[in-house]
Amino acid sequence: MRPGDTVAIVAPSGPPDAVQLRRGVERLEGLGFKVVTGAHTLDRQKLDYLAGDDAARAADVQAAWCDPAVSAVFCCRGGYGAGRLLGLLDWDALRAAGPKVLLGSSDITALHNAFAIELGVPTLHGPMPACDLLGGERGPEPRSWASLQAALSGAPQQVRGDRVLAAGRAEGELYGGNLSLLASMCGTRWQPSFAGRIALLEDIGEEPYRIDRMLTQLLQAGAFDGVRGIALGSWVDCGDPYPVLRDRLEPLGVPILAGLPVGHGSPQMSVWLGRLGVIDTESCSLADTLEEGEQAR
């Protein structure tokens, strides 16, 4: 992306705080982007955990992606509700609109996964405009802000973890996101598959036994069949998740890198899903260093 490009901000999940959203818009405008917001971004409905009704939220996503003037669609926050939109989107129309940037994390995993399956486009997992890291009162969190700008500019990035659960090197397309959302899509048209890929997993506020249950569901559904490596992000307010992560994932026999600042928490580094990356446990890093279109070995 370049200064002058148009960013459309939509609310496919929970309702944004209007003040945080305004600050996030101003900071994106400070980068030289033209920013527009969806018609229903500040809507409310009887289910107060949703930013307006499903049809309105889906219409905003659809309109933004299909607008030829828009270069990027930024989800303003997570929460809950993106999965409710998947059956309402016109995938043929979205496909015909061509590729552009989709940014979000947490609940937006539902859109990342569905866009990968339906459209085959890379999407950006990173901080969102109406959240503290970008829209906070004291300004954007510096490392998160710098990482997002680098990702939007197309610059290769290297994100470092803090521990290795299984040593080795793996190369493949990065895929995944929030564990709860990935597990929730099992048995649907958008069931996740890590075959030939590096699985990115993170979560917030889940007890270890719940992490166990979700990993077991994905394992039994075959989602990890053919996985090349695993990159574990943040596990905020999840107790000590590492015993269960080792128990469920080490038997897969692939490199596992953990402690990456990706997901929830601060800082939140931006990573491209659907592009080739490398796990190297010797340097304890996940690198986005390969050109788009290269084939993983």
Read off the pLDDT of residues 144-179 as tens digits, 9 standing for 90 and up: 999 999 999 988 889 999 999 999 999 999 999 999
Read off the pLDDT of residues 42-68 as tens digits, 9 standing for 90 and up: 988 889 999 999 999 999 999 999 999
Q: Respond yes or no: is residue 292 known to be catalytic.
A: no
Do 157-288 and 6-153 fall under one CATH topology?
Answer: no
Beta bridge mates, 132 = none
Marked catalytic residue, from 144, 171, 264, 270: 264
Q: Respond yes or no: is residue 106 known to be catalytic.
A: yes
Contact present, 38 and 99 (Cβ < 8 Å): no
Q: Respond yes or no: is residue 40 known to be catalytic.
A: no
CATH number of the domain at 157-288, please? 3.50.30.60
Interatomic CA distance for residues 289 and 227, integer angstroms? 20
Marked catalytic residue, from 141, 173, 202, 206: 202
Read off the pLDDT of residues 30-39 as tens digits, 9 standing for 90 and up: 999 999 999 9
Paired sense of beta strands 271-273 and 276-280, if any: unpaired
Could you tell me the pTM of the whole model? 0.94
Read off the pLDDT of residues 98-135 as tens digits, 9 standing for 90 and up: 999 999 999 999 999 999 999 999 999 999 999 999 99
User: If you write DSSP's letter for every residue of 66-112 in order, what string do you get?
Assistant: H-TTEEEEEE---SS-GGGGTTTS-HHHHHHT---EEEE-GGGHHHH
- Going from N- to C-terminal start, the domains of the chain cover 6-153, 157-288
SS3 category, 295:
coil
Domain 6-153 is found in CATH 3.40.50.970: no
On average, the pLDDT of the chain sits at 95
Mean pLDDT of all residues in 227-254: 98
Marked catalytic residue, from 13, 106, 270, 285: 106
